[in-house]
Amino acid sequence: MAFGFRLTRSTPLLFVWLTLQSLVGTAQTTSSQQRTTQYSDSPYQLSTGREAILLGAGVATFGTSVLLDKAVDPLTPAEVAALNRDDINAFDRSATRNWNPSIAKVSDITLFSNVALPVLLTLGTKPMRQDMKTIGVMYLETLLFANGVESTVKAISQRPRPFVFNPDVPLEQKLNRDARQSFFSGHATTAFATAVFTSEVFRHYFPESKLKAVVWVGTLGLASATCVMRYESGRHYYSDLLVGAAFGSLVGWGIPKLHEVKNRSALGRRLDVQPWSSGSATGVYARLRFR
């Protein structure tokens, strides 16, 4: 599938490089920087061990999906001819009558727009921009894990896409490996993972903002539009999209949740208590910020 949500397929070296850079950067954080992060107003915090596990899981699922994908054999003309849309369950069957490559291309645009939103919000708002590394690592983990699992399931299930059952679609479109990778939708997974991730992160940085509803409606609206177009273009069944949306939403919510700073009370955010030593004397250092 020649477009951006397949980041885990098209740019594996980039993901591995970013993963290593993230781990190295986290491991090299000094103790003073860690204290600053712990007692700052940031709602999220990185941890070397946790990031190693999450990024490692993402890279592992990506690697598994690549290996499994290479073992997928395209449909043969005889296999295509033997397919019968009546064998598709009633809930999904209507998708087999859809085919529109132009709509499929528009779905790429809506997905790219959704993926760009967390980047734009991070660069455009000071609190998020100051936490760029933390947000970047969390988003990388979200994309890696969500797309790694989705791609692995696709390679295992090998479900023919709806357009394969449509006699109006040229045969050559049906005779490639991607035509057997319908379940579950990568577009839906990435779109909803990004939508929920973006909205959750925004509301944590700006809990009093009146724009929270705008961000939720905008990101989920783009994600939903992407799913509708994937159905209308004959690329996915309803079930592909629903499972992708549910799984993507879970990952988009879960990754930020794992990174939340637990002590977020008003006093906890303003009070900094640390051991102190000058070499000749020891004690406790306390600082209370009033604003």
Distances (CA, A) of 7 to 120, 151, 205: 19, 11, 27
DSSP β-bridge partners for residue 284:
275
Comparing 208 with 9, the larger pLDDT belongs to: 208
- For residues 146 and 193, the answer to whether their CB atoms sit within 8 Å is yes
pLDDT band of residue 291 (cuts 50, 70, 90) is low
% of the chain at pLDDT higher than 70? 76
Q: What is the pLDDT of residue 158?
A: 95
Of 148, 113, 118, which Cα lies nearest the Cα of 136?
118
Q: What is the pLDDT of residue 289?
A: 58
Lowest-pLDDT choice from 5-14, 134-143, 161-170: 5-14
Of 222, 250, 4, 11, which Cα lies nearest the Cα of 149?
250
Find how far residue 157's CA is from the centre of its chain: 21
Q: What is the pLDDT of residue 34?
A: 43
* pLDDT tens digits for range 232-281: 999 999 999 999 999 999 999 999 999 999 865 444 455 444 445 555 55
Is residue 13's pLDDT more than 90?
Answer: no
Find the mean pLDDT for residues 204-208: 95
Of 128, 135, 186, 153, which Cα lies nearest the Cα of 1?
186
Q: For residue 166, how many other CB atoms are within 10 A of its CB?
A: 17
Record the tokens describing residue 273, joined without a space.
């208590």
Q: What is the pLDDT of residue 270?
A: 53
In a 3-state reduction of DSSP, which class is residue 64?
Answer: helix
In terms of DSSP H, where are the helices of the chain?
Answer: 7-10, 12-27, 31-38, 48-70, 77-82, 101-124, 126-130, 132-157, 171-174, 186-205, 212-232, 238-259, 266-270
* Distance, CA of 182 to CA of 11 (rounded, Å): 21
* pLDDT tens digits for range 35-80: 444 435 799 999 999 999 999 999 999 899 999 999 899 999 999 9
- Across 16-25, 26-35, 214-223, the highest mean pLDDT is recorded for 214-223
Q: Model-level pTM? A: 0.79
* Distance, CA of 226 to CA of 235 (rounded, Å): 11
Distances (CA, A) of 82 to 38, 157, 255, 262: 61, 19, 43, 57
Q: What is the pLDDT of residue 32?
A: 40
* Distance, CA of 227 to CA of 243 (rounded, Å): 11
Q: What is the pLDDT of residue 279?
A: 54
Q: Which residues in 269-290 are b (16+ Cβ under 10 Å) and which e?
A: beebeeeeeeeeeeeeeeeeee
Of 146, 188, 187, 131, which Cα lies nearest the Cα of 54?
146
Spans of all domains in the chain: 4-288
* pLDDT tens digits for range 122-137: 999 999 999 999 999 9
% of the chain at pLDDT higher than 90? 74
Lowest-pLDDT choice from 29-38, 132-141, 183-192, 262-271: 29-38
